[in-house]
A = this chain, B = another copy of it.
Amino acid sequence: MDLDERKKRILESIIKDYVETAEPVGSRAVVKKHDLKISPATVRNEMADLEEMGFLEQPHTSAGRIPSEQGFRYFVDWMMEKEHLSDNEMEMLQKVLTDNNHEWHEIAQSIGNFLAQATSYTSFVIVPAITLSDFKYIQLVPVDANRALVLMVTEPGVIMHRKIEVPDKVSTEDLDQLSKTFTHVLGGKKPGEVRRSDLSLLRDRLRQKKQIIDRVLDVIDNLLDNSAGEKVVVSGALNILNEPEFKDIEKIKRVLAILEEDERLRHIIPDQINEDVNIRIGKENEVEDIKEMSLVFAGYKTLGEMGKIGLIGPVRMEYWKAAGSVESVRSIVEDVIKRS
């Protein structure tokens, strides 16, 4: 894929202009804005070439040109330099993340908010399923006379809890005893691995406390069902309302509906990704309703599965900024995870 230097210059000019203004760019504007030493007529010839190659298109005969999706693709692949976050911004994010040693979904929310704010696009953070991490610890804690809390800690330090009812006569010592047994049998296993054999083993060992055990097992089952999946956090969804391409309410509805429903959002990101920043432009996306948007995303390493983080914006996107920001945030997030 080689374009001569001048064509690249022109393509770049058109992309930068179009991304900024959302209007077709004319030959005259290209010359003026970027101080090229050639005439509009020459630019017109070059633009005709670029159009023939598929990098530009004309909304109608007498308008300027806009970059095609293929044009953006060429730019992204061969010409773009990622614009990372400034030191200042990096510090800010780091500060936010170390200040709040809260629950995972608050952290994810902070990251998402930051990314959305920094780029003015819509961000998403996908926190991987806990299913694949190991149980480390199961503790029963009394809450009041006839209720207890089942507290579960898994390997990367994710904490889950549920309340259960217990018979009046159970003492704190009994609960401790139970906790030890649970931890012993289930500790080190992934929730997905815990199955029939372990459970019946437990039942045997603790036959006399059957009622409580059943409740705890119910809770574990319940957790497997309910929070087995990845969690999705979306921020800055309203940013898309600022893009001039979204002046049609139906279009807005379609896109916001996806962003609102975790299940659908999850489907638009590929399952298998690595740590590199990945860009999907418009129709490169497979899901119908997102074919007029672009995605910029990357995976981040956790102790378990890969997490995912990224941006959703119009095809007319500042890819350099988006890709740089995602990359910067990814590296900070991985740092924070490593240190926690």
Interface residues of A (CB under 8 A from B): 100-102, 136-137, 139, 141-144, 147, 149, 151, 153, 157, 159, 161-163, 226, 237-238, 241-242, 246-247, 249, 252-253, 256-257, 260
**A238 partner, pick from B144, B159, B247, B253, beta carbons under 8 A:** B253
- Structural contact, A162 and B101, CB atoms closer than 8 A: yes
Question: Is there an interface contact between A143 and B149, defined as CB atoms closer than 8 Å?
Answer: no
**How far is B142's CA from A144's CA once the two chains are assembled, in angstroms?**
21
Q: How far is the CA of A102 from the CA of B105 in the complex (A)?
A: 15
The distance in angstroms between the C-alpha atoms of A252 and B242, with both chains bound, is 11
Q: Chain copies in the assembly?
A: 2
> Closest Cβ of chain B: how far from A246's Cβ, in Å?
8
Determine whether the beta carbon of B141 is less than 8 Å from that of A141.
Answer: yes
Chain B residue numbers with a CB within 8 Å of A144 are 136
* Besides the known contacts A139-B141, A159-B163, A241-B256, 18 further A-B residue pairs in the complex with CB atoms under 8 A apart: A100-B226, A101-B162, A101-B163, A102-B162, A136-B143, A137-B141, A137-B142, A141-B141, A149-B153, A149-B159, A151-B151, A159-B161, A238-B253, A238-B256, A238-B260, A241-B253, A246-B249, A247-B249
Q: List 7 A-B contacts (CB under 8 A).
A: A100-B226, A137-B143, A149-B151, A149-B159, A237-B260, A242-B253, A246-B249
- Residue pair B257, A238 in contact (C-beta under 8 Å): yes
Chain B residues within an 8 Å CB radius of A143:
136-137, 153, 157
Complex Cα spacing A139 to B159, Å: 15
Select from chain B the residue with minimum beta-carbon distance to A238. B256
State the Cβ distance, A104 to closest chain B Cβ, in Å.
Answer: 11
Known contacts A102-B226, A162-B102, A163-B157: does B136 contact A141 (CB below 8 Å)?
no
